[in-house]
Structure 1
Amino acid sequence: MPAGSFTMGDSSGDRNRADGETPRHQVALSAFEIDATTVTNDDFARFVEATGCITEAESFGFSAVFHLAIDAPPEDVMGPATGTPWWSGVKGADWRHPGGRFTDLEGRGDHPVVHVSWNDAQAYCEWAGRRLPTEAEWEYAARGGIDGAKYPWGDQEVDEGGWRANIFQGEFPRRNTGEDGFPTTAPVRTFAPNGYGLWQSVGNVWEWCEDRFHPATYRRGTTAEKRTTVTDPVGPADGQARVMRGGSYLCHDSYCNRYRNSARSQNTPDSSMGNAGFRTVSRRGAER
């Protein structure tokens, strides 16, 4: 990624108010390298083989699985999550068993690794000599050089002229028609890359970023002089949750329209789920 500047934040009016996608502001970034794809199951398997790492989902003995993706004995299903009954804790669900103990990774080597927490992603980065992208780096790369666009390819909707990303089709959360060909994860090099060569920066899986999350981050980082440019921002210094970007195969415009360049979300660093993974960047710069 070349050094450059871009306008960070929501430009389409699709913002989720609680996520803090505004005010839009100018950001300047130093050059950095970023993975063309999210880390795959095969990538993560090499890491585990080399280090013996036990992920937090494996340590806790369960992870969160979308109800239509569960493939496990009834006694493994711990019940629906409060407020989001389409999610359940499933015993034995982890990166090797994404839907529960009746599932495995056969045929999924080139799919994104899931059921990895922010802490797990940090362990992988340490082994690989890499780090997670800052939120600003992620958005700059995801935009693919098209400043102000809603999506990495521009402003056309995901299904205009053929599918451009892996999201939920049908009636969320009851029925997924799988019109894009993938009811859950897709191989990481599916659809078309953006102008910078990144594959599936929106849809497929949420991607962990380095930054702590706060809904007022952009307001804190700008001044009354809106033309002020923020250089190499690294997010707030406090807060428990970490930023997630890009949406996933479960995003639907009736519930979660976060499969956009500017969309933000968050979770605690020890959380894992069947629709979240990560990609890495070069270690130089943004050390914290």
Structure 2
Amino acid sequence: MIFIEGGTFSMGSDARYPEEGPIHRVRVDGFLIDETPVTNAEFSEFVEATGYRTFSESPPDPRDYPGILPEMLYAGSLVFHQPNGAVDLQDWTRWWSFLEGACWHHPYGPGSNIKGLDDHPVVHVSYHDALAYARWRGKDLPTEAEWEFAARGGLDGAEYAWGSEFIPAGRHLANTWQGAFPRTNNVEDGYSRTSPVKAFPPNGYGLYDMIGNVWEWTSDWFSPRHEADPSKACCIPRNPRGGREADSHDPCQPEIRIPRKVLKGGSHLCAPNYCRRYRPAARHAEPIDTSTCHVGFRCVIRPRGSYEVT
């Protein structure tokens, strides 16, 4: 883990997506954060020691999904598949499938495995899976403010974790999608799926994969906007917690009462033509019961006596 000195920074962005704004000043205390996302090898240790079964390995409870068809109550997870032709970018079901048997050790379905992927980020982990691992290690999941402060690597206000250019001097500094998503991936960065956790340079704090590779869970409930700066400079929020569980549900699916947490960092599926969320300010709402092939996590430790998140 790497210790991040506390400080004040400009959180969010007013230049991209509405949910990233407004830019506001935030203060965080110092904390330790994992140098890389949690890997398959590390998660394997947890499972072997505890016998833990992830959410994607257990059939869903019909009480959580009113009206669900009985034949849909099977264990599985969301897996990306590259379509053969042009698709409507408003219809995500054209490139995502809920595959029975897909889970952290079968990342692309029952016929797949993680052999040779020990140093890749573990995926297909729900929020509670990530939290269970963190607590087993005596750690926690980062707040959104902690995560974003760490991802910026000391470059307050920069567009990317490494500066103002996405691909400086033609060099890819994160595992993202090159080409027209989801049909064409030119694989200019060398990886069509996840990559080893230290395949790209670290940021200014020595942290790897804060951008791209896999999205990462935070402990904050999602809200559609950040709170604006307070009217007095003396009142900059310290160690803020974003959102409320009651307000985090998807308004487009009022019948589904699954709350959502904030994901940060983007993934290898983020592309300029579809999802420019390979930036520290970017954020995404993810239901706590959801697992996919492009979502992982990393952990933090706060000084004794500091606040605890849940």
TM-score between both structures, scaled by the size of structure 2: 0.83
Unpaired segments ≥5 residues, structure 2:
60-74, 84-89, 249-258
For 2:82 and 2:110, locate their aligned partners in 1 and report how far apart those are by CA, in whole Å. Answer: 15
Alignment of 1:275-286 (within 5 A): 275-284=294-303, 285-286=306-307
1:287 aligns to 2:308 (yes or no): yes
For 1:41 and 1:187, locate their aligned partners in 2 and report how far apart those are by CA, in whole Å. Answer: 10
Q: Which residue of 2 aligns with 1:75?
A: none
Q: Which residue of 2 aligns with 1:271?
A: 290
Deviations along 1:212-265, whole A, 9 cap, x unmatched? 00013324xx33447741111011233321000000000001110000110010
Deviations along 1:41-97, whole A, 9 cap, x unmatched? 00000000011000000113110000139xxxxxxxxxxx96432100011110001
Q: Which residue of 2 aligns with 1:72?
A: none
How much has 1:26 moved relative to structure 2? 1.1
For 1:203 and 1:259, locate their aligned partners in 2 and report how far apart those are by CA, in whole Å. Answer: 6
Deviations along 1:161-187, whole A, 9 cap, x unmatched? 311110111221112121111000000
For 1:252 and 1:95, locate their aligned partners in 2 and report how far apart those are by CA, in whole Å. Answer: 24
For 2:158 and 2:99, locate their aligned partners in 1 and report how far apart those are by CA, in whole Å. Answer: 38
1:146 aligns to 2:145 (yes or no): no
SS at 1:64 equivalent: strand
Residue type at the aligned position of 2:265:
G
Deviations along 1:89-120, whole A, 9 cap, x unmatched? 01111000111111111110000000000010
Alignment of 1:123-202 (within 5 A): 123-158=132-167, 160-202=169-211
SS at 1:136 equivalent: helix
For 1:51 and 1:224, locate their aligned partners in 2 and report how far apart those are by CA, in whole Å. Answer: 49
Distance change (3 Å), C-alpha of 1:253 and 1:188: same
Check whether the contact 2:12–2:21 (CA below 8 A) recurs between aligned residues.
Answer: yes
Check whether the contact 2:270–2:277 (CA below 8 A) recurs between aligned residues.
Answer: yes
Task: Note the aligned Cα RMSD (angstroms).
Answer: 1.8
Residue type at the aligned position of 2:23:
R
Match of 1:247 among 252, 258, 266: 266
Query: Which structure shows the bigger proportion of residues in strand conformation?
Result: 1
Q: What fraction of aligned residue pairs are identical, expressed as a percent?
A: 47
**Deviates further, 244-253 or 162-171:** 162-171
Alignment of 1:52-71 (within 5 A): 52-60=51-59, 61-68=75-82
Q: Which residue of 2 aligns with 1:78?
A: none
Distance change (3 Å), C-alpha of 1:10 and 1:217: closer
Unpaired segments ≥5 residues, structure 1:
70-80
Match of 2:98 among 83, 89, 99: 89
Match of 1:203 among 206, 212, 229: 212
How much has 1:160 moved relative to structure 2? 3.7
Task: Work out the number of aligned pairs and report it.
Answer: 271
For 2:276 and 2:169, locate their aligned partners in 1 and report how far apart those are by CA, in whole Å. Answer: 16
1:7 aligns to 2:10 (yes or no): yes
For 2:277 and 2:233, locate their aligned partners in 1 and report how far apart those are by CA, in whole Å. Answer: 25
Q: Which residue of 2 aligns with 1:259?
A: 278
Check whether the contact 2:30–2:302 (CA below 8 A) recurs between aligned residues.
Answer: no
Q: Which residue of 2 aligns with 1:223?
A: 230
